[in-house]
Structure 1
């Protein structure tokens, strides 16, 4: 209690006294220090106050005799550089950030302003352009930034990346002037697209700029367009045909007013690149260039025909199933015979080309696979009678399907039929059809909706209600398993046994308003200590997370953790009054820990310093040493840049363990 009262009273007196003293002498400190050419403490400056006139001065090169708690933020030291400081000590906590100095914002690299940095840096107000370590508020134009092994280009207005810049802008990039396409202030990497500007549409090439040399076609959401010299030519009507350079596929387009004539749609006998035949066209263009899948089947007055996507011609040799995709992304399978859709085909049919090798049959109605056919049906296939499973018209295996006649659900095995011998927990993972979203208890091939209880399977114990595994249950359950009664951890509706690969893991589980320590999948009420849960250490007492605990907790043989409401914060720094190993003191907390040793009988110099709301304190062996008085000087090396180190010297003035004055210099 003596140390506590002394520290508290001293801190209060010091704060009141120093406020008055600094108001009187802050200017004197600088004037005296610069005149004498050597560090001068606050006390010495005050003693000379009768002979030195008070005057307004600029920021000093070297903070002299300063209250250490005022040395926060950016401070200019005697080498002319600006350093970031916290509680009187140079710190790297501002590394990679922008910090204010007067009317300017400076880029901090590690410990000090990095005058070599040129690039972008973000803060809560936006992303800013920095040149030689300083935000360039007067800069407007394009700047580059190396990101993820590529160079990106940004449009900056008054030093800030202008996210309102979208579309075409005339700028110079890498010495090349042109019209570049921007999105949210950055040159977009998208190319082979059309962008509107001043009522016209322009073609964007690979360098994200308008390619005035391009003549050809380009698509957007409104259709396919004819481009001439980089601009959509709305006056063009005619035919464009040829072969692609990469794949040598033929192409042919019919244009009216610059857009493909979409009424040219279907199968026509015509000539393409000098070759005559039956060709398929999709909305004005040969099927070879149409979007994937939409032109696989095309009509004329004689029926629907299968189109070869490489040649654009009808494939009269095609026999089997052909997929066609709708514009909305859905698709259908049709039966094709001699290149033409056979609308007369109905019933079960074997895949001749094994579209889905694991599934044998499909159900056709009017030549199309019937996507409404889902369930189990009693059929005779290949002379074998049984209950077969179909999903959206295709035979399927290893799943759960309903009987459309009575609403019961059944397990379909590997042969595509209901497996009446199967009993266990099953979840279908290969599709999203209703019951497949959950795991279910199956008895003799049928989902048992009447069952509620436990099911043991594959070294797991499942909690089942109304036939469904309670996957939403992630809590605790008081049960007897394998002869052991305990509070067991339930994960997604099941409990693991000791053979599970995660059996030895420890965690916290929420139950009935508290968090409980779980190891080996059951609560361990004997445990006292810390547990790592989602990247944070939490203090557990008698198996329960101790929200009530705030203070020191022994973590290992020599170090204590300081917890707040049972939570360990490895960024916490403070000087806190408390008891460790029966010793009461003001303890230094660094990175949430108090590393302490038995206090030696006498110390003439501190081994560290720590700050709290009352000020900066000199410490020994992890606690404040109130017996320290007088000056102390320490030098610390800092790696400020690659292959560059600076030595910073701290001159402390101590009174009863508290730092009453501090000078910092680069040596």
Structure 2
């Protein structure tokens, strides 16, 4: 085959391949050869750019979403703390409120009406929610006059009181408004007591004779747990003397009756004959 025929055959095959291509493909090839961009190629490039931008936006959005989630977590945590604090405060407020049931007064203790007491605020209320405050002076009920301090008679007994109750710490002598002196133990006078007790009467400390719970300003012989004592003007006289009671006259040595003594003693320019402490004869 000649060279000319071979070239003609190649050209025919090329034309055949060109015929198989679509018009768009041919146009695209021509445009590409001429440095132009077809509509389809442009569309493909735009889609690629959009996809790249979308991926970029997604990458750029991740830090923002993380920041938003962190802020939301902080807000939730703060809200939880606030709720917990409110709960604790409410719990503490509830813990400080106690119910005082109605109670009658007693000689040693004040009574009270039915109410609620807030220990933190030192206030009293008529309701559990502590909405209606009530005056403290109306809460408590006293057995005695709250404004009196001293000897008070209630029924047949005498009490030493203060602040509306008997003073349990008071054990001593005290006088009523009429000047009568009584002996009190734990704020209460024992009207049946006969004793010789140390204490202060009219500003004088001594051992005083008590008859029926009251100081007896008499001359006699009186007994306590330590023995019998010579009493003059209601108090023990610690000296050698002859003391007298309803049973006779007795020799008291150093103020105390001496049952063991038998003999004679010279007192007040007189001679006393003593047998077992009792005066049997005066010379």
Which band: TM-score by shorter chain? 0.3 to 0.5
Q: Which has the higher helix share?
A: 2
- Structure with higher Rg: it is 2
TM, length-normalised to structure 1: 0.21
Q: Normalised by the size of structure 2, how large is the TM-score?
A: 0.46
Q: Which has the larger strand fraction?
A: 1
